Every structure is written in C-alpha cells, then in structure tokens.
Amino acid sequence: MRVTTVTACCVVLLAAPRLSAQSPAVSPALRDSIMQPVHAIFAAMNTRDTAMMRAAFAPGALLGGAPAAGKAPTFTTVDEFLRDIASAPATMVLRERVYDAEVRVDGGLATAWMFYTFSIGDKLSHCGVDAFQMVRTSAGWKAIAVADTRRSDGCAVAGRRLEVAAP
C-alpha cells in the first residue's frame, strides 16, 4: 500500500509540470471576444476615437514599455495615452497592425500576445510585441495592462498571419 501511494505521488509530481505547461484550447468565439477590444483600440487609434479606445480598457489600466536591457521601463495611464493620440495632428495617420496573436485564458483572465508593426502614414515607425492582460467584466473583456517592446529591426511580416489591419 505504501509503495503504491509513493508511486502515485511520484507520477502526479512528474506529470504536474507537463500539465501546467499545456494551455487549454481557446474556442474561436472566445478568442474573438478577447481580441475584439484589442482590435477596437487599434482601429480607434487611426480615427482618434478616444471614446472607443477608452471603452476597451478597465478603470485603472496601465500601459508600459519594455526598454532595452538595463534601462527603466516606462508607464503611462490610459488618460495620458488617449491625450497623446488625440493631440496628434489630424493629418498624421497612425496605423498599428497585429500578427500571429496567441491567446491564453484561465477563467476571467486572458493574455493576448502578438507581433505588431506601427506606421505613421505609409512609413514604418517601429515594430515589436504587444502583450495585453485582459479581464472578463460584466461589460465584456477589458484590458487591464498593455506592455510592448519597440524596435526598428526585424520588422518583416512575410510569413506572418495578419489579424486585422486598421484602416
């Protein structure tokens, strides 16, 4: 009996890392509902629709930039972000495109991780990775935190799957 219990415990302990490393499949409908506010933010950025952008964020959400190694990260509030978008010249077309989004979910928490390119007009400004932390609220999924990397190299999109292109 004791050997069986020890053996069973060992099997569970050895299997635990494998089980925790696996992410359950996310249904297309759930994935779409999580990505909807992400796409809304990027579409609204192009048209300067700050009300649409604000609706995609939970109160108190923060945006952060992950700098090069050894430098301090930057943080901004949603209000500061919206003010920056609204104050950009009307002739400046801001376009962020996202590719290859990976979505993981556990209950009311989701992470959406994606490659992006950011252009001003037709000129590429930079690219990197966006990481959205999303929570399910009574009004649907909302972003509670967004972090991104920014670089000017490695921005090729050949072979990547475009999620949705902002107008």
CATH number at residue 39: 3.10.450.50
pLDDT-based confidence at residue 115 (cuts at 50, 70, 90): very high
**Alpha carbons 139 and 130: distance in angstroms, whole number:** 23
Its sign, for the CA torsion 119, 123, 125, 130, is positive
Query: Could you tell me the residue range of the domain that residue 72 belongs to?
Result: 26-165
Q: Under the phi-then-psi rule, with left for phi > 0, alpha for psi from -120 to 50, and beta for the rest, what region is 71?
A: beta
Supply the pTM of this predicted model. 0.82
| Count of structural domains, the chain | 1
Question: Is the residue at 33 inside a domain?
Answer: yes
Centre a 10 Å sphere on the Cβ of residue 68 and count the other Cβ atoms it contains.
8
Q: What residues contact residue 53 under an 8 Å CB cut-off, 6+ apart?
A: 40, 41, 44, 45, 81, 82, 85
Read off the pLDDT of residues 49-89 as tens digits, 9 standing for 90 and up: 999 999 999 999 999 998 877 789 999 999 999 999 999 88
